[in-house]
Chain A
């Protein structure tokens, strides 16, 4: 790669190289190394040796966690700010794969996050394995589901459905529902949860949102039912009103006298300001 030869650039390059040397030196203090890593992103791809030096720090389990995380940040920074990083990309990804079993959970989770965003098949395989066999889990189930949701093709829907039915914790169920929001076959499950008043509000709201994406006509019918139902929560009514206002079938909604009358009442009598506001917006659009 041709490097600029102006004096300033040369100095800059030299200073980056010096910073990199400091950052990768085990003799230096951890704090000094962390600070040095902050400015080395552009130097990482100057040559293969420098990349390997940084990866070596990243992989060194004896190095302080802060230094290793700083090395990872420097690599991440280089990956999107340095044009010639593409030359290093294969080695970078391979190095990250080497770290998915790292004993440091924070580093492991960050590495898995980077790889998952790259839709890395190996990472998906290991995350799915962990969901099916918890003893092999690299991260908590809710985190694994979140990482798998970066790729709709990750084959995570079956295991997500299992988790919705038998959640290890509420967070895992929430993430499983979020992941399934792109799965058309899960629409009946979302209907079931939305109808079930015993489900936590958060799950029902997630289901409403998913249903709006997967089956908007059905969601419109449910939204109407929710608004007309006095026993429903204000939050869910607010979401339903917003959905009908912005995405409802204008002809049907504007002819729906029962709905309009109920919304009129909500505008005047609802205790939640959010619900009142949504009712006003609805009526502005649909009032005959």
Chain B
């Protein structure tokens, strides 16, 4: 198949063919991970149903390739807040191809069971499209009679987890009890499977007894009970992997998500800070406010949503959580110190009164520091700046992720919570820590406007799942004191001045002694042996200027000081030209001052400050790149 530009022009047939090709080439699995990004151009101008079909097929392709760590977050996201049976089923099946089942996955599977049990459907995971008709019927075009359900796939994934599912035992028992009382949606066959897994887990005393859980008899018996309820016989027949004693940690370290970040990172241009400043919002009362007016001066918590979102686990829940966050902020006395905003993805439809209604109905307090916003100007720069996980069909959202950001007092992104449900206390904790740091209070220099990290110190960013929430935090926010330290520039300045004013010749000494003579120091003789000391100081000064210039756009300071040193040593001391000394001293001072000035100019990037592109959840920055 010839190389296709992966954009909205690709037909679904071409897409499915491409994915089929890629899944037979493990080396191209990164492409599949990339296709899971909501903002991938391939999803532009497609309906939500088409987006579901395409994402589902991409997820299922990992079944053959093995789910890489970079794709794990997308699978967990679907389990965490997915409401479409096809995508949840695809995610659950895809998860079983992951090499390291971990206990932390059990919570996601249980959440998915709770989310999907009243929305389940018969889906086909073996053919593109995923739609299933009643078995044996062949009249409906584009659908197939061979199906499974999301619940079946989730139960199989719990079985696949083996002993790792032990943490889910209380949840399983509650689910079972609900169903026995008649309040659940699991079929008799599914309940039998749940009981069987539960029984095996509860009786688990040693790793050996896990064998009973792994035996294929139980799933096979499910097949025989009811063909409709088969939990995917092919998968069930596969022996489950035994968990080694060291297997049971979810890869939550930075390394676990590094590939994902890297793959997303590649070709996104970052909007400049100037563009961000041009964004104009309208709030829930119809009042206009610019980005800088609201987001500069103190830290902010920013969530994205839209009022027409049909997934109650995403936008509606996000705004409801913001209301809870406000209460927590008030309890901690942080009202007015941390701002809060919810920005709609759908500004054309979400007019001021809709925003107010949506916030009101979810208990959000709206005032000068807490606003629901719609961008009326600068929508694209905003989308680029936050690298929003969203795509559109015309102005309507076709798919988006859960995303909440913490901005520092300059409006720069300090941390983000994406894809997985976020915890209000955890978000507030991060924002409060930022507030306590210099980032939260002092107007810090802007990030680089060129959108790259060239010449900048690399950050050791973190990406973790904490309490089931994917957190990506800019490492810079955790070490503000070092970043803001004024000691280094001051030292360099003093050193420069000391070198410049150091007495270098008999004339200098005469001049100094005439001054110091008042203090009775006139008897101190000129000592040529001080020259090596002076030379050392001068070299240190030049070295420090050279060191500083790397993080600055200009190099003039260094070259001025170097010229000054040349004049002093070669012409002044070597040829004893008095004017050369004087000019050299002036050039050295000018070079030093220029260098100090450059390092203090606020709108220029400095090596000590993290760039926007270095944000770990954003394209263009990743620990891999940083290393």
Q: A89-B120, A184-B395, A185-B394 are in contact. Are A155 and B226 (CB under 8 A)?
A: no
Q: How far is the CA of A59 from the CA of B138 in the complex (A)?
A: 12
Asked whether B324 is an interface residue with its Cβ less than 8 Å from the other chain, the reply is no
Query: Would you call B184 and A97 a contact (CB within 8 A)?
Result: no
Q: Which residues of B contact A2 (CB under 8 A)?
A: 180, 182
Instruction: Tell me how many residue pairs across A and B have CB atoms closer than 8 Å.
Output: 128
Q: A155-B47, A155-B48 are in contact. Are A55 and B134 (CB under 8 A)?
A: yes
Quote the shortest CB–CB distance from B10 to chain A (angstroms).
16
Asked whether B132 is an interface residue with its Cβ less than 8 Å from the other chain, the reply is yes
Q: How far is the CA of A87 from the CA of B310 in the complex (A)?
A: 23
Question: Interface readout for B95-135 with A: 1 if CB under 8 Å, 0 if not?
Answer: 00000000000000000000001101110000001111111
Q: Which residues of A contact B184 (CB under 8 A)?
A: 86
Q: Which residue of the partner chain, among A59, A93, A184, contacts B121 with CB atoms under 8 Å?
A: A93
Query: Would you call A98 and B122 a contact (CB within 8 A)?
Result: no
Which of A91, A97, A98, A153: most chain B Cβ within 10 A?
Answer: A153
Tell me what chain A mostly uses at the interface: helix, strand, loop, or mixed. Answer: helix
Q: Which of A86-121 contact B (CB under 8 A)?
A: 86-91, 93-95, 97-102, 119, 121
Q: How far is the CA of A204 from the CA of B147 in the complex (A)?
A: 47
Asked whether A9 is an interface residue with its Cβ less than 8 Å from the other chain, the reply is no
Asked whether A37 is an interface residue with its Cβ less than 8 Å from the other chain, the reply is no
Query: Would you call A121 and B133 a contact (CB within 8 A)?
Result: no
Chain A's closest residue to B12 (CB) is A125
Quote the shortest CB–CB distance from B48 to chain A (angstroms).
3
Q: Which residue of the partner chain, among B47, B120, B135, contacts A154 with CB atoms under 8 Å?
A: B47
Query: Would you call A1 and B188 a contact (CB within 8 A)?
Result: yes
Q: How far is the CA of A151 from the CA of B51 in the complex (A)?
A: 14
Asked whether B40 is an interface residue with its Cβ less than 8 Å from the other chain, the reply is no
Q: How far is the CA of A119 from the CA of B85 in the complex (A)?
A: 12
Q: A87-B187, A98-B137 are in contact. Are A152 and B308 (CB under 8 A)?
A: yes
- Size class of the B contact interface (CB-based, 8 Å): 35 or more
Quote the shortest CB–CB distance from B134 to chain A (angstroms).
4
Q: Which residues of B contact A155 (CB under 8 A)?
A: 46-50, 393
Question: Interface readout for B205-219 with A: 1 if CB under 8 Å, 0 if not?
Answer: 000000000000000
Q: How far is the CA of A42 from the CA of B52 in the complex (A)?
A: 34
Asked whether B26 is an interface residue with its Cβ less than 8 Å from the other chain, the reply is no
Q: How far is the CA of A1 from the CA of B188 in the complex (A)?
A: 8
Q: Can you spell out 30 A-B residue pairs with CB atoms less than 8 angstroms apart? A: A1-B182, A2-B180, A59-B134, A84-B185, A86-B117, A86-B184, A87-B185, A87-B186, A87-B188, A91-B228, A93-B121, A98-B137, A98-B139, A98-B143, A99-B140, A119-B310, A121-B49, A122-B129, A124-B47, A125-B49, A151-B310, A152-B396, A153-B49, A153-B393, A155-B47, A156-B47, A183-B394, A184-B346, A185-B348, A214-B349
**Residues of chain B having any CB pair with chain A under 8 Å:** 46-50, 52-53, 85-86, 117-118, 120-122, 129-135, 137, 139-143, 147, 149, 180, 182-188, 226, 228-229, 308, 310, 346, 348-349, 351, 353, 393-398
**Known pairs A89-B120, A184-B348 / 18 extra A-B pairs, C-beta < 8 Å:** A48-B226, A84-B182, A86-B185, A89-B118, A90-B122, A90-B228, A93-B121, A94-B121, A94-B134, A94-B135, A98-B133, A121-B52, A121-B86, A122-B129, A124-B47, A126-B141, A155-B393, A184-B346
Leading 7 A-B pairs by shortest Cβ distance: A155-B47, A86-B185, A184-B348, A121-B49, A153-B48, A122-B131, A90-B122
